[in-house]
Amino acid sequence: MKIPQPFQYQGSKRALAATILRHLPSRMERLVEPFAGSAALSIACAAECRASRYWLNDCNQPLAELLQQIINQPESVAGFYQSLWRDQPDGALAHYYQVREDFNRTHDPLLLLYLLARCVKGSVRYNADGLFNQSPDKRRLGTRPQTMRGNLIAVSMLLRGRSLVTARDYREVLADCQPADIVYMDPPYQGVCGERDARYFSSIAYDDFVVALAQLNDRGIRFLVSYDGCLGGQSYGKTLPDALDLSHIKIEAGRSSQATLLGRADMTIESLYISRALADEAGIRADKNTHYRASRQDLQTPLFTSALPV
């Protein structure tokens, strides 16, 4: 089954979703994404009928509102996008910059959808004042309306009626998680963005995040985290501390969007951390050297079976 994608979003785990899902139970009460982004994991999980409910959260409020509208009003969103897309003259950039200016003034989530579809590699950028400032991709005009409509309707069919969408601080979301929940976190990589970086709407402090994970452990909440990794042999980000007692899996993720933008062929290795509560339930124990290659066939792989090391 082809998994729908509502929009391009740099850092999306769409390509890795199948590999991540293999470390989750076959049935879940609720999957929680405190850093939802494009909601790639929840969409993939829903396509496999793996969870009864979903909680999508992102502190970027227009992004959260866009997800909400896509889930509940896909035809309306698709119609607005079609009108906006057809207004752009072939090869003209003034239209994009006008939409960007309008979005920064109004924070209209429907305008954000056009910007995400049209900007360079779905690579969102904000300036120090929190204004969207990414440039348009001059080689293309963005997702065609018919393709966009199909993706939006497909996402809505998967998530409508069983999804909560919020725009809260991730710590508030984690505090409200329940024992039956499973939490997947894909925060901005602190090794890339530090305390503030234009590539992300906001960043998180490493120490605060570690404390939040420790609190989840204390409460027995099951979770997974995509956090640090390496690109072309160079590590980025501090690894999560051993004191958290997490299983650490390295996933060969292929060529990154950033490497593509820079014209390089660097291979990206991403870390996936699994909480003790989840690893014990799965009956697995991954050591610090476990290494997997992401595969499109992973959606057909039985859960809780280990992949072949590479």
**Given a cut of 50, is residue 296 above it in pLDDT?**
no
What residue numbers bound the domain in which 85 lies?
1-226
pTM for this predicted structure: 0.84
Residue 161 located in a structural domain: yes
pLDDT, position 264? 61
Which is more confident, 210 or 19?
210
Instruction: Report percent pLDDT > 70 for the chain.
Output: 76
pLDDT, position 120? 87
pLDDT tens digits, residue range 218-259? 999 999 999 876 666 666 668 899 999 999 888 876 665 555
- What total of structural domains would you count in the chain? 1
Residue 208 located in a structural domain: yes
Residue 246 located in a structural domain: no
Residue 201 located in a structural domain: yes
Q: What is the CATH number of the domain that holds 193?
A: 1.10.1020.10
Residue 16 located in a structural domain: yes
The dihedral over CA atoms of 295, 228, 304, 38, expressed in degrees to the nearest 10, equals: -70
Residue 301 located in a structural domain: no
Half-sphere exposure of 276 (CA within 13 A, CB side): 12
What element of type H or E holds 225? strand 222-231
Contact 237, 229 (CB under 8 A): yes
For the segment 165-186, the average pLDDT, to the nearest whole number, is 97
Can you tell me the distance from the alpha carbon of 179 to that of 207, in angstroms, rounded to the nearest whole number?
Answer: 24
pLDDT, position 303? 29
Residue 276 located in a structural domain: no
Phi, psi of 228 (to 5 degrees): -110, -175
Residue 62 located in a structural domain: yes
